[in-house]
Amino acid sequence: MTLVLDAVGITKEFPGTRALNNVHLDLRAGEIHAVMGENGAGKSTLMKILAGIDYPNSGEIRFQGQPVQLTSPREALMLGIAIVHQELSLVPPLTVAENIFPGRLPVNRFGLVRYGMLFEQAQAALDKLNIAVDPRALVSQLSVAQQQLVEIAKALSYNCKVLILDEPTSALTDSEANLLLGFLKRLTQEGVGILYISHKINEVFAAADRVTVLRDGEYVGTESIAEITPDHVIRMMVGRELGDLYPPRSEKRGGVLLEVRNLRLPNQTARNSFQLYEGEILGIAGLLGSGRSELARAIFGVDPKTEGEILLQGRTLHIQNPQQAIRYGLGYLPEDRKIAGLFLEMSVKLNIEAATIPEVSHYGLVSAAKERALAEQYVGMLNISTPSVEQEVRRLSGGNQQKALVARWLSINPKILIVDEPTRGIDVGAKKEIHFLLRELAHKGVGVIMISSELPEILGMSDRILVMHEGSIAAEYASKTVTEEEIIRSASNS
């Protein structure tokens, strides 16, 4: 079989981290090639480089044997490399046809769109792929699976030879996912090479021909699916020493701090009950969309919970909004620090004190001395690297931004701290510091709930682990005895 795409020795560095180090990947015409690895392994970065969105620091990319420089997504598209992102990029209020041909709408000589022709072309494109979607339908009326197919039709309308799919089934139900996989199989018969990023191991084994595994930005290996087992792939993904990234666990555990009873999340049927003990770090694992963050947000009063009871030290809490949650001594570090956490244009000082304004105030007026003292205290304690507390937080590195956000929650002296992906996208040094900080909090009796997509982090940090699957707690493990393999199985229900 011929190679359509061949990437050799790809290295990509971001400030403070090396996202990819000397990575190889070769894609044959007419194969489905899965790319696997844990979060932070570098899969998405590699795909972005192949789609012309990012440039590598070194390495060579050959397309159909010819070396190419991919400097923009458009250039990659013109060559025949299309990417379908995890988040769909369709425009919901427009029709399917308009979404398939954005920027390439057929026009008459007055520059007006020839809708008749547009719909015909779109129909043809959809027919060719056997997609039963009306080109005149609005994208907003389609199911997520149908939108996914339209996105693929859009990518293929460029006559692409390489189709990159980034977790295409993460938002689909099992039956929808099966339809999509069947569709991809048919597509390969036309000689299209498909790169398929997925976390779902059974899906990969059902559909892919080969699999390449990355770990911490390093190339681990490429295997033919027919010749290996799922366990083998998981070992390839995991195989690393935890080292001293994680602090030693504590031996003692206090009484029940928080009790959640029969909590039902919005749009879910399952009821969840669990307890959090004083001085414990409770890890919550699960796939994207399994309800981990929703659970945290429901407890913190961000999105209303549908039903259920929350008790703090035996007392029923009535939490309608984050304000009340904070008053009870709960803190919540959200998943996406830039969207939901930080005030990027504001100073480190203002970011740290955001949840504690009354405490640095006197008679309703903010005390300049107090707010400064508070900020400097935490900048020192958390070792936040910033020229001054007046520095705008957007100028800090990701790790220091995250530490500033952690500082905000430490300053409320929480009884319970919920952290959602506390170390996403930050360098190893800051990661370790945050890990030790969370353990120190637990030592002081704080109950910590830690949501993470990184299994090593879950295993390295947690005293106990809950695994979520489709809105419910599917399993509970003591972290001393459980393996990553077991957690992956519970999370994907396989």
Partner 1 sequence: METTTPIHDTPAITPRPRIADGLMRLLRAREAALVILIILIGVALQIITGRFLTVPNLNAISLGFATSAIMIFGMTAALASGGFDLSVGSVFALGGVSVATALHAGLPIPLAILIGLGVGVVAGLINGLLITRAHINPFITTLGMMGIARGTSLAITEGTIVAGLPQEYFVWGQGKTLEIPNLILIALGIILIGDFLMRRSSLLRQIYYVGGNEEAARLSGINVQRVKLGVYTLSGFLAALAGVLSVSRFTVGDPGAGSGEELRIIAACIIGGCSLQGGKGTVIGGLFGLIFVGFINNGLILLRVPVYWQQLSMGIVLILAVGFDTFSQRWQMRSRGKKSE
Q: Which of 196, 332, 378, 477 binds partner 1 (CB under 8 A)?
A: 332
C-alpha–C-alpha distance, residues 393 and 395, integer Å: 5
Is residue 368 involved in binding partner 1 (CB under 8 A)? yes
Where in 3-22 is the site for partner 1 (CB under 8 A)? 14-15
Reference 11, options 240, 217, 222, 236; nearest CA is 217
398-410 vs 428-443: helix axis angle to the nearest 10?
Answer: 10
321 is a site residue for partner 1 (CB under 8 A)? yes
Tokens of 1: 């079989």
Counting contacts by CB under 8 A, is residue 361 touching partner 1?
yes
**Cβ proximity to partner 1, 388 vs 494, nearer residue:** 388
Residues sharing a CB contact under 8 Å with residue 297, sequence separation 6 or more, in sequence order: 303, 332
Answer yes or no whether residue 326 interacts with partner 1 by CB under 8 A: yes
DSSP string for residues in 78-97:
HHTEEEE-SS----TTSBHH
Block residue for tokens 């899969």? 43
For residue 83, state whether it binds partner 1 (rule: CB under 8 A).
no
Two tokens, residue 436: 């030790």
**What track of x and - describes contact with partner 1 for positions 250 through 289 (by CB under 8 A)?**
----------------------------------------
Which region, judged by CB under 8 A, interacts with partner 1, from 124-132, 141-149, 362-370, 447-455? 362-370
Least CB distance to partner 1 at residue 388 (A): 7
Name the minimum Å distance from CB 299 to partner 1. Answer: 13
398-410 and 368-381 helices, crossing angle to 10°: 120
Decide if 7 contacts 170 (C-beta within 8 A): no
Among 28, 33, 349, 424, binds partner 1 (CB under 8 A): 349
| Residue 241 burial (CB count, 10 A) | 7
Beta-ladder partners of 261:
309
- Binding residues for partner 1 restricted to 206-225, rule: CB under 8 A: none
For partner 1, which residue of 37, 42, 135, 341 counts as binding (CB under 8 A)?
Answer: 341
**Binding flags for partner 1, 178-197, as an x/- string (CB under 8 A):** --------------------
Please identify, among the stretches 137-145, 153-161, 359-367, 435-443, the one whose residues bind partner 1 according to the rule CB under 8 A.
359-367
List 164's β-bridge partners, or say none.
83, 195
Q: For residues 466 and 285, is the Cβ–Cβ distance under 8 A?
A: yes
Whether 90 and 155 have beta carbons less than 8 Å apart is answered as: no
**Residues in binding contact with partner 1, number by CB under 8 A:** 38
Which positions touch partner 1 (CB under 8 A)?
A: 14-15, 54, 300, 302, 321-323, 325-327, 332, 334, 339-347, 349-350, 354-355, 357-358, 360-361, 364-366, 368, 388, 390, 392, 408
